Amino acid sequence: MLRAVTDNSSLPDYPCTQRFGDLDVTFRRMAAGDRDRMLTFTRALPQEDLLFLRLDITQEDVVDGWIQNIEIGKTVSVLAEHEGRLLGYCSLHHSEILWTRHLGEIRLLVGTDHRGKGIGGELARQIFETAKDLQLLKLVVQMMSSQRYAQTLFHHLDFIPEALLHDWAIDRDGRTHDLIVMSREVEEAH
């Protein structure tokens, strides 16, 4: 039986700080008090990033739902910040649906000014540890085929393409895109 994460006992010690170039980046779990900071972060993203959001996390009710899922243990989100400013996040979403209870879905986003520095990879690594603690067997990520940077990042994290679904996703402007599903085994994470 998989378990929800509702406390910090099985996760890395938070907060923790690592150096990335000239930045000391602090990683910690997202909590209800981060609502306004998350909205500020997402609302400052460039339009091209917003086109591809699966959920419109620039909207208060969507972030409130996200926080509610964190509080009931269906989602774990780790934040990366520097001097109180949010740089990015990585979330692990899982459910108790019988057929897919062994899967966790990763959603990862790093602000444009901080991409390519290893912050996204570290956020993902911390989520891999959470997936192990949750006894998940496989991690999946979904993205539109035009999101080349995201595909490269997850390829470097040893995710492999599982499916290409034609016109499966639609962006905020109403254009359809092919959806790519990539996965990796949790035990292979390092």
What DSSP line would sit under 95-154, residue for residue?
A: ---GGGTTEEEEEEEE-GGGTTSSHHHHHHHHHHHHHHHTT--EEEEEEETT-HHHHHHH
pLDDT at 3: 47
Delimit the domains of the chain by residue range: 16-141
Is the pTM above the cut of 0.85?
Answer: yes
* 16-141: CATH architecture: 3-Layer(aba) Sandwich (3.40)
pLDDT at 12: 62
pLDDT at 188: 60
pLDDT < 50 positions in the chain? 1-3, 5-10, 189-190
